[in-house]
Amino acid sequence: MADSTMQVELVAADRLVWSGEATMVIARTTEGDVGILPNHAPVLSVMVDGIVDVRTADDETWVAAVDAGFLSVAGNRISILSEHAEMSHEIDLERARHDLERAQAAGEDGDEAAEAAARAWAEARIRAAESRS
């Protein structure tokens, strides 16, 4: 691996979602969007629901929906750890939209925190799926 790339691993609680060399990674943290390039200073950040955009060494773009988790950068290695993560090409857009509608309707009946988490996850999946077109 040259100094012009970084090794990236996107890991969900139950599986390795994506791994490879990249030239740039963009993720949403509690501090806002962060862009990571090769030779970036070490960072440990808390991520919020959103999308992760990976630009590969082969000039491809991979997009994934992630929920809250952690982003770690050290020595040209990026680890993105999230309970749930889905690559954009794995997401059924209509199902994600249905999940968002269901989460919004459920919020009228009870648990606001659970509704907000379900809504944020559905919105992240929709953004990731729409980014592939």
DSSP state of 92: -
Q: Are residues 46 and 22 in the same domain?
A: yes
DSSP state of 10: E
Q: Are residues 81 and 112 in the same domain?
A: no
Give the residue, 113 or 110, on which the prediction is more confident: 113
Q: For residue 70, is it within any domain?
A: yes
**Residue 45, domain extent:** 6-87
Q: How many domains does the chain have?
A: 2
The pLDDT tens digits of the residues spanning 42-99 come to 999 999 999 999 999 999 999 999 998 999 999 999 999 999 999 999 999 999 999 9
Q: Are residues 34 and 50 in the same domain?
A: yes
Contacts (Cβ under 8 Å, ≥6 apart) of 2: none
Can you give the pTM of this predicted structure?
A: 0.86
Q: For residue 57, is it within any domain?
A: yes
Q: For residue 1, is it within any domain?
A: no
Q: For residue 35, is it within any domain?
A: yes
* pLDDT for residue 110: 63
At which residue do the structure tokens 């809504």 appear? 119
